[in-house]
Amino acid sequence: MTSEISNYMRFALDQAFLAVGESRPNPAVGAVVVKDGIVVGKGHTQRPGSAHAEVMALRDAGELASGASIYVTLEPCCHYGRTPPCTKAIIEAGIKKVYFAHSDPNPVVHGKSRAILEEAGIEVHEGLQACIDACVEECPNGESAGECHVFEFRSNSLEDRAIREGEGREIFREIERFFEAYDYFVRSKRTFVEVKSAISQDGFMGCVDAAGKRWPLTITKAGANCWNHELRAMSDAILVGAGTLLADNPRLDVRHVAGNNPVKIVWAGHHEFTADEVLHLNVLQAKESKPLVYSCVAQPKIVDCIVLSGNSFAENWRTMLGDLTVRGMHRLMVEPGAGLAHALFSNSNNGDSNDSCGAPLWNRFDLWRSTDPSVDETVEQLVAKSVITAGLEYPDLPTSLVAKESAVIGADVLTVYYP
Give per-residue pLDDT as tens, 54-100: 999 999 999 999 999 999 999 999 988 788 999 999 999 999 999 99
Q: What number of CA atoms fall less than 13 Å from residue 56's CA on the CB side?
A: 22
Q: Which residues of 398-407 are buried (b: 16+ CB within 10 A; e: fewer)?
A: beeeeeeeeb
Report field, pTM of the whole predicted structure over 0.85: yes
The model's pLDDT over 282-328, given as tens digits with 9 standing for 90+, comes to: 999 987 788 999 999 999 999 889 999 999 999 999 999 999 999 99
Q: Is the pLDDT of residue 5 over 50?
A: no
Q: Are 178 and 16 in contact (CB under 8 A)?
A: yes
pLDDT for 327 equals 96
The model's pLDDT over 252-261, given as tens digits with 9 standing for 90+, comes to: 999 988 899 9
- In 60-202, DSSP assigns E strands to 69-74, 97-102, 123-126, 135-136, 192-199
pLDDT for 79 equals 83
Burial class (CB in 10 A: 0-12, 13-18, 19+), 206: buried
The model's pLDDT over 10-19, given as tens digits with 9 standing for 90+, comes to: 999 999 999 9
Q: How far apart are CA 230 and CA 236, in angstroms?
A: 12
The model's pLDDT over 97-150, given as tens digits with 9 standing for 90+, comes to: 999 999 999 988 888 899 999 999 999 999 999 999 998 755 444 454 444 444
The model's pLDDT over 183-198, given as tens digits with 9 standing for 90+, comes to: 999 999 999 999 999 9
Question: Residue 273 — pLDDT band, cuts 50, 70, 90?
Answer: very high
Of 4, 22, 54, 123, the catalytic one is 54
Q: Are strands 214-215 and 331-334 parallel, antiparallel or unpaired?
A: unpaired
Selection from 120, 66, 53, 124 nearest residue 93 by Cα: 66
Q: Give a three-class secondary structure readout of 198-241.
A: EECCCCEEEEECCCCCEECCCCCCHHHHHHHHHHHHCCCEEEEE
pLDDT for 188 equals 94
Q: How far apart are CA 147 and CA 33, in angstroms?
A: 22
Residue 340 CB neighbours (<10 A): 23
Q: How far apart are CA 90 and CA 15, in angstroms?
A: 18
pLDDT for 163 equals 78
pLDDT for 141 equals 47
Residue 399 backbone class (left: φ over 0; alpha: ψ -120 to 50; beta: rest): alpha
Average pLDDT over residues 163-173: 89
Question: Residue 161 — pLDDT band, cuts 50, 70, 90?
Answer: confident
Q: How far apart are CA 197 and CA 210, in angstroms?
A: 24
What contacts 76, CB < 8 A, 6 or more positions away?
A: 52, 54, 85, 86, 87, 90, 98, 100, 113, 117
Secondary structure tally for the chain: helices H, strands E: 13, 19
Task: Report the mean per-residue pLDDT for the chain.
Answer: 89
Question: Residue 153 — pLDDT band, cuts 50, 70, 90?
Answer: very low
The model's pLDDT over 355-410, given as tens digits with 9 standing for 90+, comes to: 444 468 999 999 999 999 999 999 999 999 999 999 999 999 888 899 999 999 99
- Residue 290 has what DSSP assignment? P
54 given a catalytic annotation: yes
